[in-house]
A and B are shown apart, each in its own frame.
Chain A
Amino acid sequence: MSDTNDMNGASGMNETKFGEYGGQYVPEVLMPAIEELQSAYERYVLENEDGFMDEFRRHLRDFGGRPTPLQRADALSERYDREVYLKREDLLHGGAHKLNNALGQVLLAKYMGKERIVAETGAGQHGTATAMAASYLDIDCEVFMGRTDINRQRPNVFRMRTHDAEVNPVDVGSGTLKEAINETMRDWATNVEDTHYVIGSVVGPHPFPKMVRDFQSVISEEAREQIRKKAGRLPDSVVACAGGGSNTMGAFHNFVDDAEPRSANRSSGHGPRDDESVSLFAVEAGGSGLTIDEDEGVAPHSASLSSGQDGVLHGARTKLLQSGDGQILESHSVSAGLDYSGVGPELAHLVETGRVTPVNVGDDAALEAFHRLSKLEGIIPALESSHAVAYLERAAQRAADGSSGHDQRDEADELGDLVIVNVSGRGDKDLDTVIEESAKRGIDAAPSMEVFE
Chain B
Amino acid sequence: MSELEAAFADEPALIPYVVAGDPGIEETKEYVRALVRGGADVIELGLPFSEPIADGPTIQNAIQRALSGGMTPDDYLELVSGLDVDVPVVCMTYYNLIYQYGGREAQRASERSSGGTPRDEEGVEAFVSAAADAGVSGLIVPDLPVEESGPLRLACDEYGLDLVFIIAPTTTDRRKRRITEQASGFVYVQARMGTTGAQADVSGDTHDSLARLAESDLPKAVGFGVSAGEHAREIVSAGADGVVVGSALVDIVASGENVAERLESKAAELKSGAREGEQEIPEPERTSN
- Chain A interface residues toward B at CB < 8 A: 1-2, 4-5, 7-8, 10, 16, 20, 23-33, 172-173, 178, 182, 185-186, 189-193, 265, 297, 309-315, 317, 320, 322, 324-328, 352
Contacts and interface: CB of A to CB of B under 8 A. Distances in A.
B193 to A, nearest CB: 5
Contacts of B74: 325
A325 B67 CA distance: 12
Contacts of B170: 28-33, 192-193
B147 A327 contact: no
B120 A31 contact: no
Nearest to B75: A325
Given A186-B56, A265-B115, A328-B96, A25 B145 contact: yes
A190 B193 contact: yes
A28 B166 contact: yes
B8 interface: no
B120 A314 contact: no
A312 B148 CA distance: 11
5 contacts: A23-B147, A25-B95, A31-B171, A32-B175, A173-B50
A29 B193 contact: yes
Which of A178, A297, A322, A325 neighbours the largest number of chain B CB atoms within 10 Å of its CB? A325
B103 interface: yes
Interface in B34-93: 49-54, 56-57, 60-61, 64, 67, 72-74
B168 interface: yes
Q: Place the interface of chain B in its size category.
A: 35 or more
B189 to A, nearest CB: 11
Nearest to B49: A327
A103 B274 CA distance: 50
B99 A189 contact: no
B181 A190 contact: no
Complex A-B, nearest 6 residue pairs according to Cβ-Cβ distance, in ascending order:
A326-B100, A190-B194, A29-B168, A4-B150, A326-B97, A327-B50
Contact of B143 (A27, A190, A310, A324): A27
Nearest to A193: B170
A24 B148 contact: yes
B101 A27 contact: no
B107 interface: yes
Nearest to A191: B193
A10 B147 CA distance: 8
B194 A328 contact: no
A43 to B, nearest CB: 18
Given A24-B145, A322-B96, A326-B101, A192 B182 contact: no
A23 B150 CA distance: 12
A433 B190 CA distance: 45
Given A24-B147, A178-B51, A4 B100 contact: no
Given A32-B171, A189-B194, A190-B194, A25 B148 contact: yes
Contacts, number: 155
Contacts of A33: 170
A320 B99 CA distance: 12
B169 interface: yes
Which of A2, A25, A311 neighbours the largest number of chain B CB atoms within 10 Å of its CB? A25
B113 to A, nearest CB: 15
B120 A313 contact: no
Given A23-B147, A326-B103, 18 more contacts: A2-B157, A27-B143, A27-B145, A27-B168, A28-B168, A29-B170, A29-B193, A32-B171, A172-B57, A186-B195, A310-B117, A310-B120, A312-B95, A312-B99, A322-B96, A325-B74, A326-B99, A327-B50
Given A4-B150, A28-B165, A325 B73 contact: yes
A29 B103 contact: no
B286 interface: no
Given A7-B146, A182-B53, A190 B96 contact: no
Contact of B193 (A7, A16, A189, A327): A189
Nearest to B194: A190
Contacts of B181: 1
B100 A309 contact: yes
Interface of B: 49-54, 56-57, 60-61, 64, 67, 72-74, 94-101, 103-104, 107, 115, 117, 120, 142-150, 153-154, 157, 165-172, 175, 178-179, 181-182, 190, 193-195
Given A182-B51, A265-B115, A328-B51, A7 B178 contact: yes
A204 to B, nearest CB: 11
Nearest to B196: A186
Given A310-B117, A327-B67, A4 B193 contact: no
Nearest to A311: B96
A317 B95 CA distance: 10
Contacts of B190: 28-29
B195 A190 contact: yes
Contacts of A325: 72-74, 97, 100-101
Nearest to A2: B154
Nearest to A297: B50
Contacts of A27: 53-54, 142-143, 145, 166, 168
Given A24-B147, A172-B57, A186 B120 contact: no
Contacts of B51: 178, 182, 313-314, 328
Given A182-B51, A190-B193, A327-B50, A31 B99 contact: no
Contacts of A20: 120
Contacts of A324: 100, 103-104
Contacts of B175: 28, 31-32
A13 B142 CA distance: 23
B45 to A, nearest CB: 17
A314 B95 CA distance: 11
A192 B195 CA distance: 12
B67 to A, nearest CB: 7
Given A172-B57, A190-B194, A313-B96, A31 B145 contact: yes
Given A172-B60, A313-B51, A189 B195 contact: yes
B107 A309 contact: yes
Contacts of A25: 95, 143-145, 148
Nearest to B193: A190
B96 A186 contact: no
